[in-house]
Structure 1
Amino acid sequence: MGGTEHLSVERVGATLVLTLNRPEAKNALSLAMLVGLYDGWLEADADDTVRSVVLTGAGGTFCAGMDLKALAGDGMDGQQHRTRLREDPDLHWKAMLRHHRPRKPVIAAVEGHCVAGGTEILQGTDIRVAGESAVFGLYEVRRGLFPIGGSTVRLPRQIPRTHALEMLLTGRPYSAVEAERVGLIGRVVPDGTALDAALETAERVNACAPLAVEAVKASVHETLAMTEEEGLATELERGWPLFDTADAMEGARAFAQKRQPRFKRA
């Protein structure tokens, strides 16, 4: 398994857990963290025994955004990571899921601050669970910056436009309860239990047929910008072949025999 000094990787059953691990800086994004994140997404997709990914933060914080000291010119540690960025200038955007989509479901487990770049990464995840004291927000306009991680495009597609614009244009913080109400996150749980709740959700995902799960996720995302007619045609192209898979037949047999299915990604 990969990982860097600021990104921990752990395997929990069929779930790969990626932990933003820079708690002394509220898990502010560093180059080492971004390199580790991108490698984590690639690792999850390359390993067919991984069924889901959980993204969380160490020390009771998800992510406080970009390291502004580094942005101001103080630099980021790790020559090897700078080399990776020179080799792939788009790496940091792919790490933040701006225009890279893992084929495995990604579940966010949020505690504490999830602001600026943290809220931007969040928008690239599929399922979102947060502790009740979690805080969200896009603070960029308060600092003369632009939320260039994709928020001006993605946020209005994920929550009602008026709420998206208020979040983007005021830069104010949002509580977990309010974030759930506007649809930014899906569930609020007691503080300290977001990771457990995310892993429970991951287990439910892992129990399903992996080919079907990945096809459903792909269909949802690739049809977002289509007309209904185009989307329905694309859905058929994605979904119909699954009915001829061994996993589909196994699902039917298991149902008839009243047992748990044994899916083989075939």
Structure 2
Amino acid sequence: MKRTAASATMTPDDGRPAMSGTAHLTVERTDATLVLTLNRPEARNALSPPMLVALYDAWLAADADDTVRSVVLTGAGGAFCSGMDLKALAAGGPAEGPWRARFKADPDLHWKAMLRHHRPRKPVIAAVEGPCVAGGTEILQGTDIRIAGRSATFGLYEVRRGLFPLGGSTVRLPRQIPRTHAMEMLLTGRPYTAEEAGRIGLVGRVVPDGTALGAALETAALINANAPLAVEAVKASVYATADLPEDEALRRELAIGRPVFDTADAAEGTRAFTEKRPPVYRRA
């Protein structure tokens, strides 16, 4: 796979999504996959103001770029994310500087960055190594596919610190895993191994340590080979119908899925199958 640094550089206040990242978030392209790496290994990739700003800009940039077909979210230095930077939280939020202006302009920015108030239209795959706790486990719940190294750890530690998991976990977690497991994770604040996270369905696959990113990129490549309009419609339908009664959900599914059959890509997929060749999809 060809991996390159994202080249577009945009200022934080020019109204356009940035592709360049910051010191706390690296942004790279691997073929049609955008790889976002939380990059504060000295702090186990705790969420910082510049990281959150860059992360939200990267979500927007991925959706705005039709050559990006999937996104992989991972962490540097053998950790995924240890949650919010509690030192910054205790100090009252972002320090003075360019980041404060972004948060002032959009008080919801941190929730969008953490995928609480924003859902990318492209599939998002989490590649987890090491700690993925507190806010890390909350961001995880906003991803679509989750792959973890065997030594990864998970947990919602907020109640142990007198805090509340405001990243959406009291709503999302009971909808994603059995309620009894969600309640235990939320109320005990205890750590979970990758194997246990796999058993309860918090992650989909556990792989040998050090291979989560490779496995995520392999999964992304499988997604990238498919018709992008179909992929995005499938993702949209899954989320749009999740909480609807079945009859209403099926009507919504038809509204989202039926137009896919009228696309040039649908005709290309059928033609390529008949001609026994790989399809060439053009998002049309």
Scaled by the length of structure 2, the TM-score of the pair is 0.92
Q: Please point out which of 93, 104, 108 is paired with 1:86.
A: 104
**1:45 equivalent in structure 2:** 63
- For residues 116 and 98 of structure 2, the distance between their equivalents in structure 1, rounded to whole angstroms, comes to 23
Please list the CA deviations of residues 104-144 of structure 1 after superposition, one character each: whole Å capped at 9, or x if unmatched.
Answer: 00000000000000000000000000000000000000000
**1:154 equivalent in structure 2:** 172
**2:196 equivalent in structure 1:** 178
**1:23 equivalent in structure 2:** 41
- For residues 40 and 88 of structure 1, the distance between their equivalents in structure 2, rounded to whole angstroms, comes to 16
- For residues 41 and 94 of structure 2, the distance between their equivalents in structure 1, rounded to whole angstroms, comes to 16
- For residues 93 and 256 of structure 2, the distance between their equivalents in structure 1, rounded to whole angstroms, comes to 45
* Cα 1:206/1:131, change in 2 over 3 Å: same
Q: Please point out which of 83, 86, 90 is paired with 1:72.
A: 90
| Identity, % of aligned positions | 76
SS in 1 for 2:167: coil
Kept after mapping to 2: 8 A contact 1:140/1:147? yes
- For residues 95 and 122 of structure 2, the distance between their equivalents in structure 1, rounded to whole angstroms, comes to 30
**1:263 equivalent in structure 2:** 281
- For residues 71 and 99 of structure 1, the distance between their equivalents in structure 2, rounded to whole angstroms, comes to 20
1:47-62 to 2 correspondence within 5 Å?
Answer: 47-62=65-80
Give the Å deviation of 1:2. 2.1
Answering whether residue 132 of structure 2 is matched by residue 114 of structure 1, we say yes
Q: Which amino acid aligns with 2:122?
A: K
Q: Which amino acid aligns with 2:58?
A: G
- For residues 126 and 199 of structure 1, the distance between their equivalents in structure 2, rounded to whole angstroms, comes to 14
Please list the CA deviations of residues 178-235 of structure 1 after superposition, one character each: whole Å capped at 9, or x if unmatched.
Answer: 0000000000000000000000000000000000000000000011110001100000
Answering whether residue 137 of structure 2 is matched by residue 133 of structure 1, we say no
**1:163 equivalent in structure 2:** 181
- For residues 230 and 57 of structure 1, the distance between their equivalents in structure 2, rounded to whole angstroms, comes to 39
**2:219 equivalent in structure 1:** 201
**2:6 equivalent in structure 1:** none
- For residues 202 and 96 of structure 2, the distance between their equivalents in structure 1, rounded to whole angstroms, comes to 34
- For residues 50 and 238 of structure 1, the distance between their equivalents in structure 2, rounded to whole angstroms, comes to 21
Where structure 1 has 5 or more consecutive residues not aligned to the other structure, the ranges are none
- For residues 134 and 77 of structure 1, the distance between their equivalents in structure 2, rounded to whole angstroms, comes to 31
Q: Which amino acid aligns with 1:176?
A: A
Scaled by the length of structure 1, the TM-score of the pair is 0.99
- For residues 245 and 113 of structure 1, the distance between their equivalents in structure 2, rounded to whole angstroms, comes to 43
Please list the CA deviations of residues 74-93 of structure 1 after superposition, one character each: whole Å capped at 9, or x if unmatched.
Answer: 75456111110001110000
* Cα 1:3/1:98, change in 2 over 3 Å: same
Kept after mapping to 2: 8 A contact 1:2/1:39? no
- For residues 269 and 171 of structure 2, the distance between their equivalents in structure 1, rounded to whole angstroms, comes to 38
Where structure 2 has 5 or more consecutive residues not aligned to the other structure, the ranges are 1-18
Please list the CA deviations of residues 12-34 of structure 1 after superposition, one character each: whole Å capped at 9, or x if unmatched.
Answer: 10000000000000000000110
Kept after mapping to 2: 8 A contact 1:53/1:202? yes
Q: Which amino acid aligns with 2:76?
A: A
Please list the CA deviations of residues 153-181 of structure 1 after superposition, one character each: whole Å capped at 9, or x if unmatched.
Answer: 00000000000000000000000000000
- For residues 75 and 161 of structure 1, the distance between their equivalents in structure 2, rounded to whole angstroms, comes to 33
RCO comparison, higher one (Cα < 8 Å, 6+) = 1
- For residues 54 and 176 of structure 1, the distance between their equivalents in structure 2, rounded to whole angstroms, comes to 19
Instruction: Give the number of equivalent residue pairs.
Output: 266
